[in-house]
Structure 1
Amino acid sequence: MKYLTTAPVAALTLAFATEAMATEWNVSVWGKRRAFTEHIEKLAELVAERSGGEFTMNVSYGGLSKNRENLDGISIGAFEMAQFCAGYHRDKNRAITVLELPFLGVQTLEQEVAVANTVYAHPAVTEEMAQWNARILMTSPMPQYNIVGTGEPRATVDSFDGMRVRATGGIGAMFESVGAVPTSVTATEAYNAMESGVVDTVAFAQHAHLSFRTIDIADWWTENLNPGTVNCPVVVNTDALEALSDEHRAILDAAVTESIDYYLTNYAELLEGWEATLSEKGVQKVTVDAAEIAKLAEGAQPIHQAWIEQANADGLPGQELYDLAVQAVADNAPE
């Protein structure tokens, strides 16, 4: 009789122990599933598969937080992982905004990954993220931005004067330096801003023009302006990361590189179909003259210097971070 009563208890204890070993993370992103989030989706797939379902991630597209508030949510442990873009709140992540400076010279997504990882490893970055109880897990590499617009194409520096453009970070500063009027409406607000005439143009990478439908109402797209891009890391809550078992931490770490590789392959496929997309939607491809681009690049240098000085004033090693980014661009230039 004694054995009959203790057996169910033992089984129940084992069940609770097994359940306690399971780890479930909530992940806050925004918009909808797209090329920009494919590394996160792949990461979730890999950790679930390799942990036998004991480590899972629930990816939420806007259900957990607004995109400008993801870093805040991470800081209080509202969710375990999130994606954010530095340009949405430069004051919260000043160090990594060096990666958003215009005309840094990044040419490929692979180069973008290498440069971002180099800067992420700097102590000033890790210390700033620690203030938000966050650690950067991986980047979200994006091609150089280009603009779509309505009406007559804007393809000269003079034509940018007075142009209302959706652009954040260093790209916005670059446009402002030549007389444009940048606004930092979020990606999810860009279509309405363009449709209602709040902005004349929108600066995005290709996937975002597709996902947020700005390409649907555009008359033209600049194919080679390439002023820069934004930097959007994926971060994890420090407490959640440290609470992982050694096994789950190893699975997570190993899955990051594979997830980035998958992202790069997927984005390359998107770019292969871009020409067909423009043709299908009747969007004119506009080539900006090299002399005009040179004017913009030259005008970006004071923006770089201003960033260094402001970073120094904020107590960051501005020159060191800038030099690190510039050197990383050179060291990882495509052959």
Structure 2
Amino acid sequence: MRKHLNRAAVAALSMTFATEALATEWNVSLWGKRRAFTEHVEKLAELVSEKTGGEFTLNISYGGLSKNKENLDGISIGAFEMAQFCAGYHRDKNPSITVLELPFLGVASLEQEVELSMAVYQHPAVVEDLARWDATLLMPSPLPQYNLVGVGEAPATLADFEGLTVRATGGIGKAMETVGAVPTSMSASEVRQAMDSGIVKAVSFAPHAHMSFGTIENGTWWTTNLNPGTVNCPVVVNTTALEDLSDTHRDALLSSVDEALDHYVSHYQNKTMEAWGPELDKRGIARVTFTDAEITAFKEAAAAPAAASWIEHNTKRGLPAQELYDLVTGMIANGS
């Protein structure tokens, strides 16, 4: 009897270990709170769990695993399996994808931003660039053109930006320099305190971030049509962890990306943008619109020099910079 019980116990334990072996949990490092910017990751987690019957789960953490500027470092050492970061936070660590942050590229929609990003992410030089961090680019976090929310007297012309301290990263910061502003790079979570303390007088964000990080709580004006560019904030996975997944789990993850992005774009367009105007009106935030002539002059002053500088600098680093730039601008010119 005892012999049979032992065999039964062994069989039960074996089944338990087999079940546990099938289960996969990934930790995902985000920051802030759940918002439009993270909806594709939330949707991805939902889809992956559904497709695998709960055997593969994404445990999403908002700031509990790493600081946002250190997420790529965390991926590189396997501290977590998935993370989101913005290219402009550390341009030297991911120079290839900063081509998507050049000012005045002329991206017309979130859908186009997705197409451009995915094309760049799949370029061999970009794959190699991120491989230095054991990172595989999974999907972008497409954002509309940035504009400024500021405090104090609203600028009437672009000349009024002279000496204005502005939170602006990447290519947007370079663009703001051409009109005399003083750009400062800081993470989104630091922005509200910087505005309150007077470190910056204006903040460059997409609408969702202005609402999520509180710039409209004390802002007095918003630029409607400055549109200097946007930032590129990919979701990456640890390459080793991706390769270690079972074929079923890997397929569940990769096959869910398109649906997660569709959900993100729909959510941003139908919820975030619909809420933006009423939020400005509720707070009495003045809308500042610049003339076509001023915007044209701004673009001419900022776009070409920034592109030329980016190409020269990154060619010296060994990247096919001209090729990457031509890829992006060619797709935009063709309406892709």
Shared fold, TM over 0.5: yes
Q: Is the 8 A contact 1:157 1:295 kept in 2?
A: no
What is the aligned partner in structure 2 of residue 166 from structure 1? 167
Cα distance, 1:3 vs. partner? 2.7
TM-score in terms of structure 2 length: 0.97
In the alignment, what sits opposite 2:287? 285
Shift of 1:155: 4.4
2:86 counterpart of 1:89: no
Question: How far did residue 270 of structure 1 move?
Answer: 1.1
State the Cα deviation string for residues 152-188 of structure 1 (Å, max 9, x = none).
Answer: 2224221111110000000001111221100001100
Counterpart check, 1:25 vs 2:58:
no
One-letter amino acid of the counterpart of residue 175, structure 2: M
SS in structure 2 of the partner of residue 294 of structure 1: helix
Aligned residue in 2 for 1:315: 318
Deviation at 1:18, TM superposition (A): 0.8
Partner of 1:106: 107
Say if 2:90 is the partner of 1:120: no
Whole-Å separation in 1 of the counterparts to 2:209 and 2:29: 18
Match of 1:246 in 2: 247
SS in structure 1 of the partner of residue 136 of structure 2: strand
1:294 corresponds in structure 2 to: 296
Alignment length (residue pairs): 333
TM-score, normalised to structure 1, is 0.98
8 Å Cα contact 1:114-1:332 kept in structure 2: no
Task: State the identity as a percent.
Answer: 63
Aligned residues: CA RMSD: 0.9
Partner residue of 2:223? 222
**Residue in 2 that maps onto 1:186:** 187
The CA deviation at 1:286 is 1.4
Matched, 1:325 2:328: yes
The residue correspondences of 1:31-70 to structure 2 (distance < 5 A) are: 31-70=32-71
1:305 to 285, 308, 319: 308
Residue of structure 2 in register with 1:213 after alignment:
214
Partner SS for 2:211: helix
Matches within 5 A, 1:236-275: 236-268=237-269, 269-275=271-277
Structure 2 segments unaligned to the other structure (5+ residues) = none
Q: Which runs of 5+ in 1 are unaligned?
A: none
Quote the residue 1:135 is aligned against: 136
Amino acid at match of 1:306: S
